[in-house]
Amino acid sequence: MEPLLKVQGLSVNFSGLKALSDVTFDSFAGEVRAVIGPNGAGKTTLFNAISGYVPSTAGQIFFKGEPLHGLAPHDISVKGVRRTFQTGGLFPEMSALENVLAGLHVQIESGFFGIVLGLAEAREAEREGILRAKRLLDLMDLGAAAEQPVKDLSGGQQRMVEIVRTLATEPPLLLLDEPVVGLSPPMRDRMMDIIRRLAGEEGIGIMLIEHVIDLVMSGSDTIVVLSSGELIAEGTPEEVRQNREVLEAYLGHA
């Protein structure tokens, strides 16, 4: 099977400081791949490099066989690599549904002026977008909150809306930066169930940064472990759990 994402020898330097050093791995469609490591390990820098928010110093990144390195974030997003951030950037005065629809604008081919002019194609695209957004909100148990302003929702619900907004674009590759932060334990479990379902049933390639190790071990197919910007381990949860270097560097014991 050809990888969806191929990272080869990726290095990122900030003013002489090595944030990432020669990181190499593949990620596949339908796979949940977690990225873990201690604070400062380079996890968010890795996501930023893949999605174009920081330039790489060395190495190459390929998505569906096409190079991503050197492209702007918008161009990478249009190709199908979407990500969430630790802070969501929602529109607080808009409803949950409106926030999700705002994330769909890049997919509505007929565009804004088509909707304004009442073109049939534009109206159909708008209807399909609304139905897709409502289905995803229902999936996250947010259907009843669809018309509520985001500012009136709990922190956990806002996190869910942010992820729904990203999922609504049906990305082939989804990068989730701490998707369960701010969620209660039951909501964490539900979120991981949804992530597993999206990968298994929809075939989406999902990479996630997460600090809740129990969820990582139970919900991931494979795990990448970073420490001081270097990839020190890669494998199944069981392989990573038994890796001595991981125990010493991340879990604090051998």
- Residues 54 and 99 grouped into a single domain: no
The total number of residues shown for the chain amounts to 254
Confidence of residue 250 (pLDDT cuts 50, 70, 90): low
* Position 85 in a domain: no
Which of 17-31, 76-90, 147-161 tops mean pLDDT? 17-31
pLDDT, tens digit, 9 for 90 and up, residues 77-126? 989 999 887 666 788 999 999 988 887 765 554 445 454 555 566 677 77
* Position 3 in a domain: yes
* Token code pair at residue 84: 């969430």
Average of per-residue pLDDT values in the chain: 87
**pLDDT for position 113:** 47
Q: Would you give the DSSP letter of residue 109?
A: T
Q: Where are the beta strands (DSSP E) in 111-201?
A: 173-177
- Residues 104 and 72 grouped into a single domain: no
- Residues 151 and 227 grouped into a single domain: no
* Position 114 in a domain: yes
| CA-CA-CA-CA torsion sign (134, 139, 143, 145) | negative
- Residues 66 and 188 grouped into a single domain: yes
- Residues 70 and 177 grouped into a single domain: yes
Cα–Cα distance between 18 and 115 in angstroms, integer? 48
φ/ψ of residue 99, rounded to 5: -65, -40
In terms of residue numbers, what domain contains 196? 1-80+171-254
The alpha-carbon radius of gyration of the chain (Å, integer) is 19
Q: Where are the beta strands (DSSP E) in 15-54?
A: 17-27, 32-36
- Residues 220 and 239 grouped into a single domain: yes
Cα–Cα distance between 207 and 211 in angstroms, integer? 13
Task: Count how many domains the chain has.
Answer: 2
- Residues 58 and 69 grouped into a single domain: yes
- Checking if the pLDDT of 174 tops 70, the result is yes
* Position 39 in a domain: yes
Which is more confident, 123 or 49?
Answer: 49
* Position 87 in a domain: no
Domain final residue, candidates 120, 148, 170: 170
pLDDT, tens digit, 9 for 90 and up, residues 134-147? 888 888 788 999 99
**pTM of the model as a whole:** 0.84
Cα–Cα distance between 22 and 86 in angstroms, integer? 25
Domain final residue, candidates 170, 194, 213: 170
**pLDDT for position 65:** 96
* Position 249 in a domain: yes
* Position 217 in a domain: yes
Cα–Cα distance between 178 and 159 in angstroms, integer? 10
Domain final residue, candidates 170, 199, 214: 170
* Position 86 in a domain: no
Please, which residues have CB within 8 angstroms of residue 245's CB and are 6 or more apart in sequence?
Answer: 232, 233
CATH code assigned at 34: 3.40.50.300
Nearest to 237 by CA among 250, 228, 224, 227: 224
CA dihedral of 101, 104, 105, 108, whole degrees rounded to 10: -110
Q: Judging by beta carbons within 10 Å of its beta carbon (0-12, 13-18, 19+), is residue 28 exposed, middle or buried?
A: middle
Q: Which 3 state secondary structure label does DSSP give 36?
A: strand
Q: What does 141-159 look like in DSSP terms, one character per residue?
A: T-GGGTTSBGGGS-HHHHH
